[in-house]
Amino acid sequence: MYPFAYHRATSVDNALATLASAVDGKLLAGGMTLLPTLKQRLASPSDLIDLAGIADLNKITATATVVSIGAMARHAEVAASEAIRNVLPALTQLASLIGDPQVRNMGTIGGSVANNDPAADYPAALLGLGATVVTNRRSITADDFFKGMFETALDAGEMIVRVDFPVPRRAGYEKFRNPASRYATVGVFVAETSGGVRVAVTGAAPCVFRHKDMEAALAKSFSAAAVANIKTPATGLNADIHASADYRAHLVGVITQRAVTKAIG
């Protein structure tokens, strides 16, 4: 690990001011990706600004129409939230499947969303529910937020403050987990919302994406049988030591059926 200056921010404004004054500063949320990167000397920021001391960033509120989660809310806190479970149980279930207990007790929703790992779980929830990412500057819809592998719409000096999830009529999440990392080899979030059916796929491609063919089929009949025969092209899907592109394409269909079953049941 290269040397850096450590700062513990006391407010959003303080964090952003410190970031702006740094030569090459980085914001530290849960550190699940950043800290291993630093330990492997793959990054050498001049300053690290820790957001853990900003109480306003870990608030969780839930109404009958909207679930709002502060950027520094831990995965374990989301998984254990009765307020969220009462209106959006698919989201608490998703959070409970992230990593292991250590990761769930340190990782944050803001860090996960800003990092946009191709196999992360939260991007599927945001895209599947049509969520809104609220930053210190603006509100960004999930459809506009995720741009590519580890790439988002966030600008330099912009920081996620919270994520707002509209409460759907019903929703379900399922994933095929890598047995070591628990990352999604393929994960699918299905939601029937007031604006229609949304199907978001993570793990299969370089970036989370909506599956329009699945959405069209489920809009006609919200059932596992409706998507049973829909094929996903393997072109452009991820291929690695864990799964080929063809295997991931097959899994998209299987996991979508399971997610729909969860949403129904």
Q: State pLDDT tens for residues 121-169.
A: 999 999 999 999 999 999 999 999 999 999 999 999 999 999 999 999 9
Contacts of 263 (CB under 8 A, 6+ apart): 90, 170, 171, 172, 190, 191, 192, 222
Instruction: Return the pLDDT at 195.
Output: 92
Segments of the chain scoring below 50 in pLDDT: none
Q: Is 220 exposed, middle or buried (0-12, 13-18, 19+ CB in 10 A)?
A: exposed
Per-residue buried b or exposed e for 191-215, using 16+ beta carbons within 10 Å of the residue's own CB? bbbeeebbbbbbbbbebbbbbeebb
Q: SS3 for 145?
A: helix
Instruction: Return the pLDDT at 244.
Output: 98
The CA-atom distances, in angstroms, between 210 and each of 24, 180, 213, 218 are 34, 26, 9, 13
**Structural domains of the chain in order of their starting residue, each with its CATH number:** 5-50 (3.30.43.10), 57-166 (3.30.465.10), 170-264 (3.30.390.50)
Torsion of CA 261, 212, 93, 158, to 10 degrees: -170
Instruction: Return the pLDDT at 123.
Output: 98
> Is the whole model's pTM more than 0.85, yes or no?
yes
Beta bridge partners of 69: 60, 163
φ, ψ (nearest 5 deg) of residue 230: -85, 125
**Which stretch of DSSP H or E encloses residue 183?**
none
Beta bridge partners of 171: 191
Instruction: Return the pLDDT at 197.
Output: 98
Residue 193 CA to residue 167 CA, distance in Å, equals: 8
Instruction: Return the pLDDT at 159.
Output: 97
**Cα 37 to the chain's mean position, in Å?**
19
Which of 17, 7, 84 has its CA nearest to residue 53?
7
- What is the overall mean pLDDT for the chain? 97
Instruction: Return the pLDDT at 85.
Output: 98
Beta bridge partners of 67: 62, 165
Residue 161 CA to residue 175 CA, distance in Å, equals: 27
Instruction: Return the pLDDT at 241.
Output: 94
What is the DSSP secondary-structure string of 234-263?
A: -TT---SSS--HHHHHHHHHHHHHHHHHHH
Which of 8, 2, 16, 5 has its CA nearest to residue 47?
5
